[in-house]
Amino acid sequence: MHNVPTDEVFVIGHKNPDTDSICSAIAYAHLKNQHENKYIPKRAGNINKETQFVLDYFGVQAPALVSNVNVQVKDIAYRIVDGVSGDITMKRAFEIMQDNDATTLPVVNNGKIKGIITVGDIAEAYMLEKDDNSLFIAATRFSHIIDTINGELVYGDADEYVKDGRVIVGAAQVDILERHVKENDIVIVSDRVEAQLAAINCGASMLIVCLVNSISDVVLEFAKNKGCAVVVTPTDTYAVARLIGQSMPIGFFMIRDRIMTFYEDDDIDTLKTTMAKTRVRYFPVTDGYGNYKGLVSRRNYINARKKQLILVDHNERTQSVDGVENAEILEIIDHHRIANIETMNPVYFRNQPLGCTATIIYQMYKEQNVKIDKPIAGLLCAAILSDTLAFKSPTCTFIDEAAAKELARLAEIDIYEFAMEMFDAGSNLKDKTMDEILHQDFKKFDIGDMVVAVGQINSVNEKEIDRIRNGMREFLGGYMEPGCDVVLFAMTNILQEGSGIICVGENAQELCSKAFDVQLEDSYAYLPGVVSRKKQIVPALVKATHQI
């Protein structure tokens, strides 16, 4: 069976992750692994330039991307049945099925699925076979016949293909045999030399001599002169006649068109829906490169394991990785408003009114008396500086600032020099499209009856902000985020401690005007002193929804 990891837990932040989301996932997984090594940091979106700078600075690898956490084919214990060559015989295929208690075999070439063969296909081919020259039609080689009847080639070429002829049992008198054997026929005989010579003389392409280990020199010499292959076998005539039909290669009978396969990353719901529409029992599973991995059946997905998650830096369903509703949430560590994530069971939920999730995780290291090494200290410090805009954001508390300064000491960095380098790296957006800039740090919020999306960039480069403002106004003029009623984009100047906002969508002008007490001009307004999405922008929008 395909082994499914039963205990791994993903520690993951929100979509369009920021520095806090990534660094907190890495640091919290590291803390949890001090007690039980099964926690894996993941990310739900692309790494932005600021976060990449931080990871590179402290020599930490970015978490792997997880696009969704639905139960997938790779999460179920499907069967590992080795693929077979289309050149093996029906008899050998059936033996493999019996050995593996399987009813289906995948036919594989260079790791790729070429077809499938089932017990039913083999039975149908053997029982309903009507063509006298079926061995020829199926491109059967002499070696296939020899292997199937437990024979030994005395003369001839094992790689030669069966010619257009029939299979004859030469049990009759010689004169009768001579009337029935035609050129290229395969003749099954006993140890009667007269019958052997007669069959060869009639142009048989193969002579199968049963219940013997050798033949006379006379017969052998005559066969060579006539170009007739000779096979001896200890198997009796009846058994050979019964088995020879099973010598045909399965490649001729396998299903090769419209083979229904599943990728390891396919959702379990896709599997169930497809299987409900067909009577096929087993389906091949392939990886992302099309390489065969095993077989999956209906009974395999009954006990499918849900992915286990710890959410950091968010607790809002619209911000979570796709498929979160089908996963098992074990913990939530966050510093935002309590929103609408639902869990099946009680979970450990730690939510504190601090400027950064990383501050909470720093506290947990201290509470558990776990030493914070230099890379982890650097990541946590960078996350705090990023989320609090180097202590300038109104979300910043004295606890955040004290934690960051202690972490900077452990990481051996100058806190303000590092912050400016980090912000400068994040401000370099010249190679990004307006769509990429909008979604770099982009969150959706359920506010009243509306879904409001808020994107934000932080920069120390005023010229960069001006460039983006002009480009974003044009971009958002013809854009609306799917599933959203309002999109707000904030361009925060860290040095000036203010933000320009662009709002689009139905009721966007009215909503933003009431929220921030400003008049928007061409969907734009500047908000002095507003730098925090969490503490200033979203709460103002929530309050304004009750006024429109």
Task: Judge residue 258's burial from the number of C-beta atoms within 10 Å of its C-beta, 0-12 exposed, 13-18 middle, 19 or more buried.
Answer: exposed
Of 107, 497, 450, whose CA–CA distance to 292 is shortest?
107
Whether residues 276 and 343 share a domain: the answer is no
Is residue 482 scored above 70 in pLDDT? yes
Please say if the pLDDT value at position 3 is more than 60: no
Structure-block tokens of residue 545: 């929804």
In a shared domain, residues 337 and 414: yes
Between β-strands 348-351 and 328-334, what pairing exists: parallel, antiparallel or unpaired? Answer: parallel
Task: Specify if 135 maps to a domain.
Answer: no
> pLDDT grade, residue 5 (50/70/90)?
low
Residues 274-294: tens digit of each pLDDT:
777 777 778 888 888 889 888
Return the HEC string of 233-278.
ECCCHHHHHHHHHHHCEHHHCCECCCCCCEECCCEHHHHHHHHCCC
- Residue 528 domain flag: yes
The secondary structure of 44-77 as a DSSP string is: SSPPPHHHHHHHHHTT-PPPEE-SB-S-BGGGS-
| pLDDT at residue 130 in the model | 57
Q: pLDDT category, 383, cuts 50, 70, 90?
A: very high
Q: Which of 15-19, 146-150, 313-317, 423-427 is least confident?
A: 423-427
**Helices 508-516 + 538-545 axis angle, to 10:** 110
* pLDDT (0 to 100) of residue 426: 87
Q: Is residue 133 part of a domain?
A: no
Q: Cα–Cα distances in Å, from 219 out to 225, 296, 323, 332, 486?
A: 10, 53, 74, 85, 93
Q: pLDDT averaged over the chain?
A: 90
Task: Give the pLDDT score at 303.
Answer: 66
Beta bridge partners of 353: none
Place of tokens 């005395």: 154
Is residue 357 pLDDT above 90, yes or no? yes
CA distance 43 to 62: 8
* In the predicted structure, residue 514 carries a pLDDT above the cut 60: yes
Domain count, the chain: 4
Let me know whether 152 and 180 are in one domain: yes
Q: Residue 4 has what pLDDT?
A: 55
- Residue 57's domain comprises 10-71+307-426
Q: Is 80 exceeded by the pLDDT of residue 128? A: no
- Within 8 A by CB and 6+ apart from 484, the residues are 444, 451, 452, 453, 505
Residue 6 has pLDDT above 70, yes or no: no
Average pLDDT in the 166-193 region?
A: 90
Lowest mean pLDDT among 26-35, 338-347, 402-411: 338-347
pLDDT > 80? residue 1: no
Q: Could you say which of 382, 398, 426 is where a domain stops?
A: 426
Q: Which position has the token pair 């619209």?
A: 318
